Amino acid sequence: MKLKAYESISHARKERKKYFERYNTYRPHQGLNYRTPDEIYYGTLSKIKDVV
């Protein structure tokens, strides 16, 4: 997340939400074998539900 001035607290919150959505949903991570955190989390969660 780039350091910048925001118009208001609500604007900063909206930008933070967009940043984390992109980071967790669309951006592949090298440490996760080029998968997204959502792919890891929800993939693992569905496997756990299948076992239970």
Q: What residues does each domain of the chain span?
A: 9-50
Mean pLDDT of 10-32: 93
The residue behind tokens 């967009």 is 18
Cα gap 15→21, rounded to integer Å? 10
Cα gap 3→31, rounded to integer Å? 25
Residue 4: predicted pLDDT: 80
Q: Which 3 state secondary structure label does DSSP give 15?
A: helix
Residue 42: predicted pLDDT: 86
Mean pLDDT of 23-32: 91
pTM of the model: 0.64
Mean pLDDT of 26-38: 91
